Amino acid sequence: MNEFLSIELINLFEKIVQDDPNSYFICIDGLRTLFFDKIYKKYPDRVFCVGIAEQNAMGIAAGIALSGKTVYVVGLPVYEVCRAYEQLKLDICYNNANVRVIGYMTGLSLFSGGYSHWNTEDIALLRSLPNIDIVSPSSIDELNYFVDYYSTKKGPVYFRIDAIRTHHYKNFEKIIFNKPLMLKKGRKVAILATGASVSNSAIMLANLEKQGIDAALYSIHTIKPFNETEILKIAKKYKTLITVEEHSEGGLYSILSEIYVKNRLKNKVIPYKVNTDNVVITGSYDYALNSILNISDIDIAKKVGVPFLYKIKLLTRRVKYGNHNKKFIYRFLGVPYLKKVVNDNETKYLAFGFIPCLKSKVKRKSYE
């Protein structure tokens, strides 16, 4: 677990207990999981540990919340959401109980623990339940914002917190609930990421930049409710959207697909999500990002489409140094034909007569 984020979390929890006398904490697994033993010593009457009885944790939380208190349930989401799904659905969501489910080590954070510890279906499961909000902060700033925001808002909420990596981008905009946060400006291409995938998207941004593609980056911190209006604005601004998430079907890409079908949008959407076809492998977190999420995809620029002017720049460079042939020009530009102009001492090729800079003074035999 990321030690820095763990300390931030426990400091947040301790501040909540100090400032709000009506707040209660229920810890799944053990008190030392997130250093809860320190808080327990100060507030033993408001911090409870239920061990591995996840279903009981949700029932207890709902009962305390319905008596007018605010309850925080802290644990691994693979157990909070999957194992205790019925209790979440009936005890908490159905009753609109004031419970904050804090799920840490989400997505592929515990990839080394095997498929039993993957958490790549929580968004899909919780999206279908009534009343509950879903937030996926990608930085300490976003986490602090949502803790403050939900300190006054009633009803259940699920915090999808990754404890491996958080980004350190400088915010261009103010963090606002249910509004995508721009972290990097760009043109024509935008990456929409959530949680730890915002930090991991730096690899994609670097690969795109090598191919002359200046991509924007957005943090989608609010999953439910989802701001369709803001997404339509982004879709209008950029021709291609790339979604990045440590989730399988039913997550961010699925939400965008629903919006695109509903509004008949024709923009290209390229998903980078968890492929569950191969769940028998295990390894480090970095191995998971490359083998399962394909975060280091070297062909990402081909999927997006290399800008034509950047192609011209590379092509003229190859023509200048004689490292080219006719087949290369056809394939590189992706055009049906090239116009051939032959003079006494030189051969010129023009793609449709598109760009004059394609003219090249070379010997005829270079093309034969």
Each residue's pLDDT tens digit, 127-154: 999 999 999 998 888 888 999 999 889 9
Are 139 and 20 part of one and the same domain? yes
**CA dist list (Å): 267 to 39, 186, 239, 241, 260:** 50, 16, 6, 8, 8
pLDDT band at residue 257 using 50, 70 and 90 as cut-offs: very high
> What pLDDT, in 10s, does the model give residues 186-200?
988 999 999 889 988
Could you list the beta-strand ranges (E) of 80-221: 99-104, 133-135, 157-161, 181-184, 189-193, 215-219
Mean predicted confidence (pLDDT) in 50-76: 92
| 211 and 296, same domain (yes or no) | yes
The answer on 299 and 314 residing in a single domain is no
CATH number at residue 102: 3.40.50.970
Domain assignment present for 273:
yes
pLDDT band at 368 (very low <50, low <70, confident <90, very high): very low
Residue 242 in any domain: the answer is: yes
Say if residue 37 is in the same domain as residue 85.
yes
How far CA 146 is from CA of 16, 100, 158, 335, in Å, comes to 13, 11, 11, 50
Residue 170 lies in a domain: no
Residues 47 and 130 reside in one and the same domain: yes
Instruction: Work out the average pLDDT over 155-174.
Output: 78
Q: How many CB atoms neighbour CB 195 within 10 A? A: 33
Only one residue has tokens 């609010």, namely 222
Same domain, 216 and 289: yes
* Residue that finishes a domain, picked among 249, 276, 304: 304
Residues 218 and 353 in one domain: no
What is the pTM (predicted TM-score) of this model? 0.80
pLDDT for residue 251 = 93
Same domain, 116 and 187: no
Domain that holds residue 251: 181-304
Q: Among residues 226, 199, 184, which one has the least CA distance to residue 107?
A: 199
Residue-wise pLDDT tens digits, 223-249: 999 999 999 999 999 989 999 999 999
52 within domain boundaries: yes
Kindly state whether residue 209 falls inside one of the protein's structural domains: yes
SS3 296: coil
138 shares a domain with 18: yes
| Cα–Cα distance measured from residue 167 to residue 159, given in angstroms and rounded to the nearest whole number | 17
Residue 174 lies in a domain: no
Domain count, the chain: 3
293 part of a folded domain: yes
pLDDT of 290 over the 70 cut: yes
Are 40 and 74 within one domain? yes
- 24 and 113 part of one domain: yes
**Same structural domain for residues 15 and 143?**
yes
